[in-house]
Amino acid sequence: MARTRLVAGNWKMNKTAAEAKAFFEAFNAMPQTAGSEVVFCVPFTSLETSVAMTEGTKIGIGAQNIHFENSGAFTGEVSAEMLKATGAQWVVLGHSERREYFAETDDTVNKKIKKALEYGITPIVCCGESLYQRENGITFAWIASQLRLGYVGISAEDAKKTVIAYEPIWAIGTGKVATDDQAQEVCAFIRAELAAMYDEETAQSIRILYGGSVSPDSAAGLFSMPDIDGGLVGGASLVAEKFIKIVNA
């Protein structure tokens, strides 16, 4: 099954709206090889500017979190409906930084996936092991648990509308990228796990991205692996010249 390559930038807590505008002025002018879908997941405060700056292009815009309730007394939070109203279509969910610093759990990730799907927003669901877990041989058990709990009560039809990002925590922001084989091994495991949770056809249609220190140098090798359908790119997505090289890798 042909899966369209997806390269998603995760800006994390970077760029004001003015900086986002300047970024897209530069990025939109750069020649892009056909074949990859491109998405930027930006801070809430840059959503409207980013949506406006990419109107009429094929670039998608998303956020990096939503709340799982519709509205109410959740100080500081943003709902799926609010996100949708900005024109954004994507959201990163369950990023390891949110799990570590903001008490995100498989249960809240599960509720957020359901809420995003209810609003027609495509979730990019993150999973990944720490170095301690890898060194102690529980990478696969850990990822299986994140997937199975994250997707509780989600039908095959809905699962197909999601994207999964495998991001080994030890590779995020460290410059220590997983080798092509290490990344492929876990992405193939994720696909096998999806086949066990759902069926082969569902597993084959879900895009699985690799994330963790993806750079213009490492992108082509990683993206050529059979179960890696693109990347979730942090640091290198902040600089238009670097990110376009990854998109065109």
Q: Which of 213, 218, 240, 243 binds ligand PGA (CB under 6 A)?
A: 213
**What is the CB-side half-sphere exposure of residue 225 using CA atoms within 13 A?**
23
Rank residues 120 and 173 by Cβ distance to ligand PGA and give the closer one.
173
Q: Which of 60, 62, 128, 212 binds ligand PGA (CB under 6 A)?
A: 212
- Say which residue the tokens 């084989």 belong to: 181
- Say which residue the tokens 């109107």 belong to: 55
Q: What are phi and psi of 87, to 5 degrees?
A: 100, 0
Q: Which of 178, 233, 247, 249 binds ligand PGA (CB under 6 A)?
A: 233
CA distance 164 to 124: 5
CA distance 104 to 196: 25
Output Rg (C-alpha) for the chain, integer angstroms. Answer: 17
Q: 95 an active-site residue?
A: yes
Which whole-number Å values give the CA distances from 51 to 6, 20, 123, 138, in the listed order? 18, 10, 17, 40
Chain centre distance of CA 22: 23
Q: How far is the CB of 8 from ligand PGA (least distance, A)?
A: 8
Q: 167 an active-site residue?
A: yes
Q: Segment 163-182, which members bind ligand PGA (CB under 6 A)? A: 167, 172-173
Rank residues 167 and 229 by Cβ distance to ligand PGA and give the closer one.
167
Q: Catalytic one among 95, 104, 129, 193? A: 95
139 near 169, Cβ under 8 Å? no
Q: Catalytic one among 97, 104, 129, 167? A: 167
One-letter amino acid of 58: K
**Binding track, positions 7-46, relative to ligand PGA; x by CB under 6 A:** ---x------------------------------------
Q: What are phi and psi of 104, to 5 degrees?
A: -70, 135
Q: How far is the CB of 186 from ligand PGA (least distance, A)?
A: 15
**Binding track, positions 126-165, relative to ligand PGA; x by CB under 6 A:** ----------------------------------------
Rank residues 10 and 198 by Cβ distance to ligand PGA and give the closer one.
10
CA distance 93 to 63: 9
CA distance 68 to 97: 18
Rank residues 167 and 193 by Cβ distance to ligand PGA and give the closer one.
167
Rank residues 94 and 198 by Cβ distance to ligand PGA and give the closer one.
94
Query: What residue ranges bind ligand PGA (CB under 6 A)?
Result: 10, 167, 172-173, 211-214, 232-236
Active site residues: 95, 167
